Structure 1
Amino acid sequence: MPASSATAGLLLEHVAGRMPDLRACAFLAKTARDALLSGYQRIGLGKEIPEVISGHAADGNPTRAPHLAIIPLSFTGFPYADGHVLGLAFVPPRHSAILEEESFRKVLRTLAPMDETRGRRVLTLRTKEGTPSGRAFSIGLSPTFEPPAGKRSLDPAWYTRPSQTFATVTPIAADRHLKEEGKARPEELAAQIASACRNINLPEPEAIVTDNHSAIEGAPPAYPSGKSPAWMRWGLPRSLASRPLTHAVIRFAQPIEGPVILGAGRFLGLGLFRPLDPEE
């Protein structure tokens, strides 16, 4: 899925409301995607939503073509990082001009009116009425194509710079349900990750290591230990709820350009990799 090897797209900086935990990124991304679809409805293009935005072909079936990924930008990868989310990014497939199209710009202007007190446009994302209080949110995000000064974690270069080694910030949701148990299970997960790389035209990894914990400072584990509270578990939409999760480190023979996003939840912010420096 070439959206995984796309260039950085539109940044959405968190400016208002209480941002959900990184482990709720899939719900947050889904709410953002739903907002985009409603924006096309509001400007009279509900029947002409581009496949690259909707993720569905004209017949209503899921598209096989690359489409927009929505990823969380979090405070991770630094000493004392705590994983809190500072915003989102809309990442189009490589070579897609969808973010420059007038229809998309009109949707963005419609969804994100000018906030005179801030002097910038603000998109408000809210969960649907009746959402359980533990999952409900109402936040303001300000769109920009340039990372804000002083907020290093919103710089897409942390995800896009070339590297031989990448590690997950958010765990990969396996493309297929696992059959193996015990020592064979990590090997099956690694085989699925290698296949996911081939499917998006990335080189075959030289090495893949899977683990419950991330190699990136501040990223939460795939599964909490013991009898942890519900909020410490990754929130997954129904379509992904039964998928096994794993963090991973992958190494390629030659440096490749990010961002790298793999797995069944890649369009909703799961399976997001970050370049890993050799000393890390």
Structure 2
Amino acid sequence: MGLGIIVRLRAGRYDAARDDPMAPEWPPHPARLFCALVASMWDEADREALRWLESAGPPQVWATPEIATSRSRSYVVVNVTGKKGSPAWPGRSNGLRQRASALPSCDTFAVVWDADPDDATMGRLVRLASRVPYVGRSTSLAEVTVTSDPLPDRPEWVRYVPVPLDTPRSVPLRVPFSGYLSELEAAYEEGVPSWQVRTRVIAYAPLSTEESAPTDSDALPGPYEQLLIWGVRPPTVPIPGAELLTITSSLRRAVLSRVADPVPPQVSGHGADGLPHVAYLPLVDVGHPHADGHLLGVGIAVPRQMSSVDCRALLRGLLGPDAEGPLEVVRLPQGREVRLDYPAMRRRGLMPERWCGRPGAQTWVTATPMMLDRYPKRRLDVTEIIAESLRTAGYPRPDKVEPLAGPAISGGIHRPRRGTVPTWARKPLVHCRVSFPQPVRGPVIAGVLRYLGCGLFVPEA
């Protein structure tokens, strides 16, 4: 049956930070919940229940991947004494306090162990949880409950599970381990805060991208092997999706400046001899009732036919020599800049599955307008041009093409801002819906400006 500890954030916020005080902790670390239970411990029976829990193995974390971030900076009187001070606080000075909070789209998460406690241990854990006032900082009020019943699979939740350390898009989480309680008690006796106590750190990743990910042997691979995603770093003024060509052109320049010479032809787009180029994509807010098309992040699509040497050169430029210095700033015209986070925060619009249709999708619609390769003529209508553009871009020829007067998806971009379209690209812009004979893996891009994100498709639900 297993054991589940459910945490409801009373104020809808989770006040806890990682090593960087301005980066909120999410998903919640199981070790932090364990510390909250330790703080409510009363007697030896409670201690025995916690010893059982710390030895139960790494749990799963069920939580929403979609969060907003709140940050604050203030100066407070510190406890450290020194020669300097103020008339009000002799011998003490002030210090900068920076804090970050996560505002999840769902105020409830769960930590689930694949272990069954006996009745006495279960009863103690229930009482321990009932006495927990908060999880994280004291401002993060919480209601904590323990259950051995199967938890409902809420649609907002993603199951984060332990994975190997080198798993893509994994995040490190601190977990309790056998002996953790004793180390916490020793630290308390010495006046050492719990966050300074040694913990076990393991990698977690969403179950949907691991062994439970659906597979479809009939899905056809597109021309792109992988999609690397950066999120726009909050807080920032939302960038309208109509600025997509300004963003992607600036992103391309930023990438070229970081890739060592000689720049591979598929990265620069010069001399690629008919091979697909690296694509610089605007990931816009589309596909839900409140979507407004603003920029969530950017994606860089790496071609499947790119040599390993060129691919390594590209990745070194994007992520740094040791994958520790990723691209962080894209400079726009007029002195503006966009700051980026890699890896991107996990939210639907910044997940590869959103744009790649994993394991594949049969019907796709344009999120950004597609620029036709040719002008329509009496004997060459728009549907034929769209179908041929997709085939030229490296996808199977669709068996159904439906030109549209505007975006078929909420938040879709009608057209790039006037003045941002290159002078050499002045052909008609259209939106469309296409269906392939069998599922195709994305990202799907087509048209004259596809390598700059015009003609970016998204799977239709």
With normalisation by structure 2, the TM-score equals: 0.47
Please say if 1:74 is aligned against 2:279.
no
Q: CA deviation at 1:148?
A: 2.1
- For 1:97 and 1:163, the matched residues in 2 are separated by 27
Please say if 1:159 is aligned against 2:387.
no
SS of alignment partner, residue 447 of structure 2: coil
SS of alignment partner, residue 262 of structure 1: coil
Which residue matches 2:17? none
Q: CA deviation at 1:110?
A: 5.9
Please say if 1:22 is aligned against 2:241.
yes
What amino acid is the match of 1:236? V
Which residue matches 1:189? 382
Which residue matches 1:226? none
- For 2:319 and 2:392, the matched residues in 1 are separated by 35
- For 1:95 and 1:82, the matched residues in 2 are separated by 35
- For 1:195 and 1:262, the matched residues in 2 are separated by 9
How many residues are matched? 238
SS of alignment partner, residue 387 of structure 2: helix
SS of alignment partner, residue 342 of structure 2: strand
Tell whether the 8 Å contact from 1:164 to 1:252 is kept in structure 2 after alignment.
yes
Q: Residue by residue, what CA displacement relative to the aligned partner does 1:229-270 show, whole Å, maximum 9, x if unpaired?
A: xx5x58312232x22100000112222222210000100001
Tell whether the 8 Å contact from 1:173 to 1:263 is kept in structure 2 after alignment.
yes
Which residue matches 1:11? 229
Q: CA deviation at 1:121?
A: 4.8
Q: How does 1:264-275 map onto structure 2 within 5 Å?
A: 264-275=448-459
Change (3 A) 1:39 1:191: same
Q: Residue by residue, what CA displacement relative to the aligned partner does 1:126-182 show, whole Å, maximum 9, x if unpaired?
A: 124xx4xxxx631111232xx523x211011012121211100001011123445xx
- For 2:285 and 2:248, the matched residues in 1 are separated by 17
> Which segments of 5 or more consecutive residues in structure 1 lack a partner in the other structure?
115-119, 224-230
Change (3 A) 1:19 1:237: farther
Which residue matches 2:367? 169
The structure in which a higher percent of residues are strand is 2
- For 1:98 and 1:18, the matched residues in 2 are separated by 38
Which residue matches 2:421? 236
What amino acid is the match of 1:34? R
RMSD after superposition: 3.0
Change (3 A) 1:100 1:86: farther
Q: How does 1:53-92 map onto structure 2 within 5 Å?
A: 53-57=267-271, 63-92=273-302
| Alignment equivalent of 2:431, drawn from 234, 247, 255 | 247
Q: CA deviation at 1:10?
A: 1.4
Change (3 A) 1:25 1:177: same
SS of alignment partner, residue 92 of structure 1: strand
- For 1:274 and 1:193, the matched residues in 2 are separated by 16
SS of alignment partner, residue 239 of structure 1: coil
Q: CA deviation at 1:101?
A: 4.5
What amino acid is the match of 1:202? Y
Change (3 A) 1:238 1:143: farther
What amino acid is the match of 2:288? F
Q: CA deviation at 1:109?
A: 4.9
Q: CA deviation at 1:5?
A: 3.5
- For 2:309 and 2:348, the matched residues in 1 are separated by 23
With normalisation by structure 1, the TM-score equals: 0.74
Identity of aligned residues (%): 28
Q: CA deviation at 1:197?
A: 2.1
- For 1:174 and 1:253, the matched residues in 2 are separated by 22
| Alignment equivalent of 2:414, drawn from 210, 221, 232 | 221
Change (3 A) 1:222 1:39: closer
- For 1:216 and 1:166, the matched residues in 2 are separated by 10
Change (3 A) 1:204 1:234: farther
Larger radius of gyration: 2
Change (3 A) 1:174 1:127: same
Structure with larger RCO (C-alpha < 8 A, sep 6+) = 1
Which residue matches 1:143? 342
Change (3 A) 1:139 1:222: closer
- For 2:382 and 2:232, the matched residues in 1 are separated by 34
Q: CA deviation at 1:207?
A: 1.4
